[in-house]
Structure 1
Amino acid sequence: MTMNETAGTHSVGLPLQSARTRRYSLGVPRQFTVSPDGERVLFIRTTGGTDPVSRLWLYEDGAERMLADPAAVRRDDADGGAVPQEELTRRERAREMSSGVVSYATDADVRIASFALRGELWVVRTDGTAPRRIATAGQVVDPRPSPDGSLIAYVCGGALRLVRIDGTDDRSAATPEQPEHVTYGLSDHVSAESLGRQRGYWWSPSGDALLVARVDTSMVQRRYVSDPADPERPPRVIAYPAAGTANAEVSLHLVRVSGERVAVRLPAAAGPDHPGGTWTDPAFEYVATADWDMRGPVVSVQTRDQRSVHVLSVDPTTGETLPLHRAHDRAWVALRTGTPLRLPSGALVVPAQPGGDTQGLEIGGRTTPPGLEVREVLGAIGERVFFTASEEPTEIHVWSYAAGAPGDAPLRLTGVPGVHTAAVGGPTVVLDSRTPEGQTVTVLRDGARVGRIAVLAEAPVVTPRPLALKLGVRELRSSLYLPSWHRPGDGRLPVLLSPYAGHGLQLVLPVRSWWAATAQWFAEQGFAVLVTDGRGTPGRGEAWEKSVRGDRLTAVLEDQIDALHAAAARYPQLDLGRVAMRGWSFGGYLAAAAVLRHPEVFHAAVAGAAPTDRRLYDTHWEERFLGHPDVEPETYERNSLLSEAHRLTRPLMLVHGCADDNVAVAHMLRFSAALLAAGRPHTVLPLSGTSHLVTQEETASNLLLLEQDFLKKSLSR
């Protein structure tokens, strides 16, 4: 097949397919819950690769069965019109791309599940009976059964309410004192977006009480998100704490089903062992995690400057706290998903540095071995802890470890190169594996395979063909995508860098992913596409990840340029006279910075949802890297792009969703105004009604085509 034939075949096919499949996420099973006896597995999945409506499913005795279908009760919420705003916000924070049953919770035995549809409360049993709607006081957000299944807690109008599972005795457990500012049982913006804590309440194991987060946003500045294409619609008001401004006040309360309530006495600030710095703020402003196990509630709090984290046990009667663990760091204390975790013996599982700069775990006083980079704690069965970790940065495997057990060494459960995770319960482990061939979900019992849960996602019409590379003196992990039709002597190829390259996300992984398919699609259009994970990305130790403290661009751009030159030295078909970069979010910020700071290297860029003014982003995320803007204003100035607008000499397209409540469209508008004031021509593409996640089919598919057209024209000048 010739270049023109290949490009023509895929020029519309992949963008449209990627949009219809929501980046190949539809039909993928997720949110697995394994019952304590290992007999039942609940999960969410749509019925196919283009079906946008998620259903609740049960895997039992080797077979799948649908438990709840929104279509059967005519309660699909694809239009979002009847969904509470709090739920829509929760979905945005979770990057949810489907409708229907998008989340659920169960009782302790995983025999009852609750979920919300269009603001209504539904429950279903795993015994085959039909889902049943329970009447409530109003629209429902985040319903969760008590461990014994007798009660359902839910949030309505900012109040935490309880209702019996038969629909009787609906009552308020915690009512907001100021409904316009205070909520009970919900997460605040920073906790959900930047800390990863999306929950706002937790049942006690006995079901007689709840640990509840109270959020007061009265002191938080307001933002107003409107749709310019619909000027008659009033703007949505958001409490958004930008860097250097006041956070929401988050407190915890023990609320008994019988009505009594006790405040949790969280410490106000870290002690004298708190590390100093140019800016130091030892006040505990962040409730990072919370849970309630058989020994009582366990909470972790983090200081405003993020240099101290304390893990606390809570007395469920008095609300008094006792420290279980303290962690400090001169840059920031990293929060590891799944930690802290307390085992039945009382042993604590917390992040640790086992040697060198490896980020590992401490389990009951023992650490995982050096060189094993722990990513996430998945849970525990008895004293055996399950987690994901890497020996090679581009592979993530499932491991288990029981400190003090015979052999006393971590055991790797997955072998095929890829990205693996799991859910556990009793003797059952559900392995969710992504590899270059696709995704599989395997059910193991006592270590033996007993079945599979079907993955119904579509395969991309373009098959990724990445070359796995280690480039330059830092052995930068990179993937190079070349056109399948390109042969020696066909001529040199323009180069397109397509990184994310920011904190918390890797793209150079041996998996068949949407970003790999997109990179290959651009390759088929005539580009050599290079993706590189440089300094600041996860998987290569603490020093690598924290090297961007104070400067989010210099080292990151240096790594992209080093990788580009190293790849071109190895593959002479790469044309260094025609180089562009495209990216979204941090990747968009990096793309804009590339043409501003290094026009000698980069000849065009597409910057999507780029946070160009670092003062506009939220407290926890931005202050982690740059400190407080009032104390270190020069750091924010150095890391923002507005003052560099006059440097632009290359073609630049700015793309932004007008309804983005994460990276506000003000980033693009201020940057565009600065470029205009400096007399620098550029292209602006506003996406009406679009948030940080582009899900509208026509918008998502045509955006890729417009990017391709812009880049080809820009590099042909």
Structure 2
Amino acid sequence: MTGQLSFPRQHARTQRFSLGAPRGFAVAPDGSRVAFLRSRTGTDRANVLWVLDLDDGREYAAADPRTLLAGADEELSAEERARRERTREGSSGVVGYAVDAAVELAAFTLSGRLFTAELRAGTARELPVPGPVVDPRPSPDGRHIAYVSQGRLRVVPTEGPERTEDGAGDRSLAEPDGPGVTWGLAEFIAAEEMDRHRGFWWSPDSDRVLAARVDDSPVHRWWIADPAHPDREPAQVAYPAAGTPNASVGLALLGLDGSRTDVTWDQERYPYLARVHWSAAGPPLLLVQSRDQRAQRYLTVDTKTGATGTLHADEDPRWVELAAGSPAWTPDGRLVRIADEGGARRLFVGDRALTAAPLHVRAVLDIGEDDVLFTASAEDLHDIGVYRAWYRGSGDQGGWERVGQRPYPSVSSAVRGGSVTVLSHVCLERPGAQTEVVRLEADGGETWLAAVGSYAEVPVLATSPRLVLSGERRIPCAVVLPTGYEEGDGPLPVLMDPYGGPHAQRVVAAHNAHLTSQWFADQGFAVVVADGRGTPGRSPDWEKAVHHDLAAVVLQDQIDALQGLAGRFPLDLDRVAIRGWSFGGYLAGLAVLRRPDVFHAAVVGAPVTDQRLYDTHYTERYLGHPGEDPARYTANSLVGDDGLVDAAEPHRPMMIVHGLADDNVVVAHSLRLSSALLAAGRPHEVLPLSGVTHMTPQEQVAENLLLLQVDFLKRSLGVR
């Protein structure tokens, strides 16, 4: 059946070939089992919670949503829909879960109801509690589950005399004390821009919860309407646009005995709560940032008084970058952090740097008794590996080594529990990911234990991109030519296919990452993906070159990459188009408006056209506060107070695409661009997507969007 599908339909139906692939791993610290999520087929959106028993090699389902909901469709609360939008989650069923310290009990939601799974037994049941339930998390000892319902942070016992079948024992730990107040949830900015999706953290002793109190009443309200349904009320969204107030975020220690201790720090100077870590190795650890993000403080919390003390400080004249898994404690109480120092992004334990250039550290994955597991890239920027660095014991002499015995380059990730590690990796040579379970030995060796199977579909096409460096700045590029292209076939019209902005690397050693580019290439294009300055992976200076300039720098790198490749590949520079989504859409708009001498057509998807309409934490990081230099915002926008900005001649065809339900890059961006183009007498096309958010997860929408783009590009460039 797969072979009968076109690539656009298969790509959409499989959610970019993610369905059926295992993910969301949790490893028991005793090394006996691995929990994970996976749907039953490559087109099934409903994730099942599985357990791999490593002692006997048996795999079994611990929670099947179809059984638990008796075949009924899921019903999501507004809070859960918002959480899934922030995490770009498009599947269903068990989309996330949390476990106790022993990885014996898992908690999750279905249709806003609370369920638990006994992972050893492979059984699941519902706990009747007030709903809708959001983000349930077991205590480390597994005796209680904390969760959020309608802005309240609640706790329910899982067993014992406190627990009855009708839900008795469930109680509230914190109630909203104002109309805009919630407890235990991450605010919009934290979830969208800081990669912090949690709002509460259990104590290691399971007797208290450290919870975020969010008051979004200062945040300006926006209204997102669905023009296709004028009978429905617009959705109200608290959106902190650049230069406007953020939500007020605080913390409190909430005891199961009803006690409350407020946590205090200089919230006026450091309003952003970026990270929270609490383990048995030390007191609660906070990472807070100034609004301009040029300074951040690592704070420890006195759990008796709520007072905080500064453990470490980072400052940067441009901005300090947040990293996943950092900060944290080692088991012996040393601070683990990632910081930009000496021209590299480095891993530190205490005052000691464990890594140096050319290694560029991406994230901390796990901290062991002697070592730290992390991801990083080196000379080959498209090669992202899992590494291991020792901070004491046999590896006390320093240095690091790569984990995983396989050909490189690849893109890898890992989850560890005790000595057992789940390694997942993708590469250019084959589609999909391979997942294996290994034991990392103390001497640096590895012992293979098991494989975790994938049900993801095999794509109907294959790709073999050339990963090269272009131009004087050695810009990483992927070049994709049509299947079967031969040298004598002559030059090809070019399609630039970038993201081109912060926090998104497109040129990677991963087969599936280039499938859409291959499909466009097979329609008669030479497709070029270029990761210029501002994209991650090379060095702090490379990423921070876009400080105060999101427009000129990234656009020039696309041009330089294109021209640097022209002598090496069959590129027809008289027919060059560009397509992109989100930042890539912004970049595509920049290209045809400011450099029509280079770019001849553009597909502009969900673009940020007016920087003043995007959020505080992202936009102010790069452009500063709009009150400081309004002209900087105008220079980096596609539209301004007077309409089109820096629009050069001649006019180039442009297709603007935007989801009307997008609450991240709201459709006002595209509407303002269209109005400015109309006022300037510039013909263009607008494709509104009714009911579509920033993700475009709907199968028919995703499929037809690819087909419509190809039709537009062929018409615009004269491709037959």
* TM-score (ref. length: structure 1): 0.94
Distance in 1, matches of 2:71 and 2:691, equals 21
1:558 Cα deviation after fit:
1.1
Give 1:579's aligned amino acid: V
Who is 2:614 aligned against?
617
**1:565-600: per-residue Cα shift (whole Å, max 9, x none)?**
1111112x2111100000000000000110001101
Who is 2:552 aligned against?
554
Who is 1:409 aligned against?
399
- Secondary structure in 2 aligned to 1:131? strand
| Residues 1:15 and 2:8 aligned together | yes
Distance in 2, matches of 1:212 and 1:320, equals 15
1:647 Cα deviation after fit:
3.8
Q: 1:297 aligns with which of 261, 284, 299?
A: 284
Who is 1:518 aligned against?
516
**1:627-670: per-residue Cα shift (whole Å, max 9, x none)?**
01111101100000014365460000000000000000000011
Who is 2:697 aligned against?
695
| Residues 1:448 and 2:447 aligned together | yes
Distance 1:685 1:12, change over 3 A: farther
**1:322-379: per-residue Cα shift (whole Å, max 9, x none)?**
1111100000011111100111211111123453x11111112211122110000001
- Secondary structure in 2 aligned to 1:319? coil
Who is 2:667 aligned against?
665
Who is 1:277 aligned against?
none
1:129 Cα deviation after fit:
4.7
Distance 1:89 1:77, change over 3 A: farther
Distance in 2, matches of 1:310 and 1:385, equals 22
**1:86-111: per-residue Cα shift (whole Å, max 9, x none)?**
11101100010101100101111000
Who is 1:168 aligned against?
168
**How many residues were matched structurally?**
690
Who is 2:68 aligned against?
73
1:75 Cα deviation after fit:
6.1
| Residues 1:567 and 2:561 aligned together | no
- Secondary structure in 2 aligned to 1:293? coil
- Secondary structure in 2 aligned to 1:326? strand
Contact 1:354/1:361 (8 A) holds in 2: no
**1:518-551: per-residue Cα shift (whole Å, max 9, x none)?**
0000111100000010100011101100000111
| Residues 1:95 and 2:85 aligned together | no
1:77 Cα deviation after fit:
7.9
| Residues 1:420 and 2:390 aligned together | no
The within-5 A match list for 1:350-429 is 350-355=337-342, 357-367=343-353, 368-391=355-378, 392-407=380-395, 408-414=398-404, 415=406, 416-429=408-421
Contact 2:464/2:511 (8 A) holds in 1: no
Distance in 1, matches of 2:223 and 2:370, equals 49
1:220 Cα deviation after fit:
0.3
| Residues 1:713 and 2:715 aligned together | yes
1:12 Cα deviation after fit:
7.0
* TM-score (ref. length: structure 2): 0.94
Distance in 2, matches of 1:67 and 1:268, equals 43
Distance in 1, matches of 2:338 and 2:653, equals 45
**1:408-438: per-residue Cα shift (whole Å, max 9, x none)?**
2212113531111100111101101111213
Who is 1:140 aligned against?
133
- Secondary structure in 2 aligned to 1:234? coil
Distance in 2, matches of 1:320 and 1:89, equals 33
- Secondary structure in 2 aligned to 1:400? strand
- Secondary structure in 1 aligned to 2:592? helix
Contact 2:212/2:252 (8 A) holds in 1: yes
| Residues 1:200 and 2:185 aligned together | no
Who is 1:275 aligned against?
none
- Secondary structure in 2 aligned to 1:601? coil
Contact 2:644/2:680 (8 A) holds in 1: no
Give 2:486's aligned amino acid: R
1:404 Cα deviation after fit:
3.4
Who is 1:261 aligned against?
260
Q: 1:336 aligns with which of 313, 320, 323?
A: 323
Distance in 1, matches of 2:704 and 2:232, equals 26
Farther-moved stretch of structure 1 (67-76 vs 57-66): 67-76
Distance in 1, matches of 2:67 and 2:251, equals 39
**1:482-517: per-residue Cα shift (whole Å, max 9, x none)?**
11132233232100000101101111011012x400
**1:257-316: per-residue Cα shift (whole Å, max 9, x none)?**
0000010012235xxxxxxxxxxxxx2110000121112211110000101110111111
1:76 Cα deviation after fit:
6.9
Distance in 2, matches of 1:435 and 1:39, equals 29
Distance in 1, matches of 2:134 and 2:87, equals 14
**Which consecutive unaligned segments of at least 5 residues does structure 2 have?**
none
Contact 1:222/1:239 (8 A) holds in 2: yes
| Residues 1:458 and 2:457 aligned together | yes
Distance in 2, matches of 1:119 and 1:596, equals 46
Who is 2:425 aligned against?
433
Distance in 2, matches of 1:238 and 1:219, equals 12
1:10 Cα deviation after fit:
9.9
1:469 Cα deviation after fit:
1.1
Give 1:173's aligned amino acid: L
Who is 1:279 aligned against?
none
- Secondary structure in 2 aligned to 1:379? strand
Contact 1:578/1:602 (8 A) holds in 2: yes
- Secondary structure in 2 aligned to 1:484? coil
Distance in 2, matches of 1:136 and 1:189, equals 26
1:481 Cα deviation after fit:
0.5
Give 2:435's aligned amino acid: V
Who is 1:588 aligned against?
585
Contact 2:277/2:327 (8 A) holds in 1: no
Who is 2:274 aligned against?
288
Who is 1:537 aligned against?
535
**1:165-195: per-residue Cα shift (whole Å, max 9, x none)?**
14431110000012x3000000100000001
Give 2:131's aligned amino acid: G
Who is 2:24 aligned against?
31
Distance in 2, matches of 1:101 and 1:388, equals 27
Farther-moved stretch of structure 1 (30-39 vs 104-113): 30-39
| Residues 1:479 and 2:478 aligned together | yes
Contact 2:366/2:416 (8 A) holds in 1: yes
Give 2:197's aligned amino acid: Q
Contact 1:77/1:83 (8 A) holds in 2: no
1:43 Cα deviation after fit:
1.0
Distance in 1, matches of 2:679 and 2:509, equals 45
Contact 1:53/1:76 (8 A) holds in 2: no
Identical aligned residues as a percent: 48
Contact 2:331/2:368 (8 A) holds in 1: no
Who is 2:624 aligned against?
627
Contact 1:151/1:162 (8 A) holds in 2: yes
Distance 1:640 1:390, change over 3 A: same
Give 2:614's aligned amino acid: Y
Contact 1:381/1:424 (8 A) holds in 2: no
Give 1:290's aligned amino acid: V
| Residues 1:321 and 2:308 aligned together | yes
- Secondary structure in 1 aligned to 2:635? helix
Give 1:631's aligned amino acid: E
1:468 Cα deviation after fit:
1.4
Distance in 1, matches of 2:122 and 2:496, equals 53
1:11 Cα deviation after fit:
12
Farther-moved stretch of structure 1 (83-92 vs 159-168): 159-168
Give 2:536's aligned amino acid: P
Contact 1:143/1:154 (8 A) holds in 2: yes
